[in-house]
Amino acid sequence: MNFFKIKKNKIPFGKPLIDNNEIKSVTNVLKSGIYAHGPRSSLFEKKFCNFTGAKYSSTVSSCTAGMHLFYFALGIGRGDEVIVPAQTHTATAHAVELAGAKPVFVDCEIETGNIDPKKIQKKISKKTKAICVVHFLGIPVDMKKINYIAKKNKLLVLEDCALSLGASFNKTHTGILGDAGVFSFYPAKHITTGEGGILITKNKKLYNKIKLLKSLGINKTFLERKTPGIYDAIEVGFNYRMSEIHASIGIKQIEKINKFIKKRKRNFEFLKKNFKVNDEIHILDSNNIKSKNSFYCMNVVLSKNLSKNRMEIIKNLNKRNIGTSIYYPQPVPRMSYYRKKYGYKGNEYLNSAIISDQSISLPVGPHLTKNDLIYISENFLSILKKFQ
Ligand SMILES: Cc1ncc(COP(=O)(O)O)c(C=O)c1O
């Protein structure tokens, strides 16, 4: 095979792997006529608990919705502050804003992209109520350090697990290391339901509150009503439920998660090994033996010199039909909404800025074949050489 000949079909950055099982499952729901409040979301929750080891789980309409619910349920709002990483998806900070609280950004470690525990304490004030961590690209945060800081300052801990399904720290799955964790099932994620999310926790009281508030604060679910149409609103809440159609896809997807993670690990390790020959790049990965990565994608951080040509390198990769992305395009405090609202001095969050401005995200998903991996690695290395 000639790897310098352009591949006919594009290698996508992310691709949901859906087969007849999901299609049949959705068809069955459509035929059943039960599209909400049915048994599928409960079954998906049960299967999710089995996989993660969580005691309780509650499906939600997205990861953002689940994180918003967490703050709302715990009364975190106006006048409160929440510590969040600067290097993350804007949704992590938006959930805090939606609750009416203020996100206080903390820079990340350059080796992992995760929030730097050493930089948290000085950002904690009397108003701080919680720390939200993100297991960046599936690399688990050192939760021992985070929980120590949280305990010392009496703070709650939320884990944004949008990219960390299958990742664990100290043999415990991400999401149950703090007070709660929320996952995303957006199409590019480890598993998908189209759109969707799930909150997991070991706290029964929090779980019950989440269940109530995701369903408009109504005291009886549709199935619990003895007389149809009779219920009471005991709290103000949202409609953040997951539909049965989405849940039916999740049930089939979660059955494949071990196979998916195995392939992601193989793909990541293959590329990492091949990229070793170039010392002008640095690959974000776990540096803690207690951490088990779930390999969402591979962030290759280019040296300062090479990064001047980042856009050209990306263009070359895309021209050669290799899908790429950037995780994430800007540190969140630099995004227009946050910059305007809270000001951004330009000399803060320097590691986050390096990751945003100097990295390229490459695919490692289970959709890649062995030939795709060889093609990516040969082409990436030769493109880098052109710009060194
Ligand atoms: C770290 C992180 N948190 C939250 C989200 C939002 O997830 P959702 O689209 O399910 O709300 C994303 C989306 O990619 C993400 O990357």
Average pLDDT, the chain: 96
What local confidence, expressed as pLDDT, does residue 68 receive? 98
What local confidence, expressed as pLDDT, does residue 1 receive? 60
- CATH number, domain 257-387: 3.90.1150.10
- Give the tens place of pLDDT for each residue, 18-41: 999 999 999 999 999 999 998 999
What is the arithmetic mean of pLDDT over 93-112? 98
Instruction: Identify the band that residue 228 occupies on the pLDDT scale cut at 50, 70 and 90.
Output: confident
What local confidence, expressed as pLDDT, does residue 220 receive? 84
Looking from the CA of residue 134, the nearest atom of ligand 1 is 1
75 CB neighbour count, 10 Å cutoff: 9
Q: Convert 194-230 to b/e letters by CB count within 10 Å (16 or more is b).
A: bbbbbbbbbeeebbebbbbbbbeebeeeeeeeeeeee
The residue whose C-alpha atom lies closest to atom 8 belonging to ligand 1 is 63
Looking from the CA of residue 196, the nearest atom of ligand 1 is 10
**Residue 84 C-alpha to ligand 1 middle, in angstroms?**
14
Cβ–Cβ under 8 Å, residues 378 and 10: no
**Residue 190 C-alpha to ligand 1 middle, in angstroms?**
12
The CATH T-level fold of domain 20-254 is Aspartate Aminotransferase; domain 2 (3.40.640)
Residue 342 has pLDDT above 70, yes or no: yes
Rounded percentage of the chain residues whose pLDDT exceeds 70:
99
Looking from the CA of residue 184, the nearest atom of ligand 1 is 10
Looking from the CA of residue 66, the nearest atom of ligand 1 is 11
Residue 385 has pLDDT above 80, yes or no: yes
Looking from the CA of residue 195, the nearest atom of ligand 1 is 10
- Give the tens place of pLDDT for each residue, 240-266: 999 999 999 999 999 999 999 999 999
Residue 183 has pLDDT above 90, yes or no: yes
What local confidence, expressed as pLDDT, does residue 6 receive? 86
**Residue 344 C-alpha to ligand 1 middle, in angstroms?**
23
- Give the tens place of pLDDT for each residue, 351-369: 999 999 999 999 999 999 9
Domain ranges of the chain: 20-254, 257-387
- Give the tens place of pLDDT for each residue, 46-80: 999 999 999 999 999 999 999 999 999 999 999 99
What local confidence, expressed as pLDDT, does residue 2 receive? 65
Q: Which residues line ligand 1 (CB under 6 A)?
A: 62-64, 88-89, 91-92, 134, 160, 162-163, 184, 186, 197
Residue 3 has pLDDT above 80, yes or no: no
Mutate to test the pocket of ligand 1, among 59, 67, 87, 89 (most ligand atoms within 8 A of CB): 89
What local confidence, expressed as pLDDT, does residue 330 receive? 97
What is the arithmetic mean of pLDDT over 298-313? 96
The residue whose C-alpha atom lies closest to atom 16 belonging to ligand 1 is 89
Q: Convert 20-58 to b/e letters by CB count within 10 Å (16 or more is b).
A: eebeebbeebeeeeeebbbebbebbbebbbebbebebbb
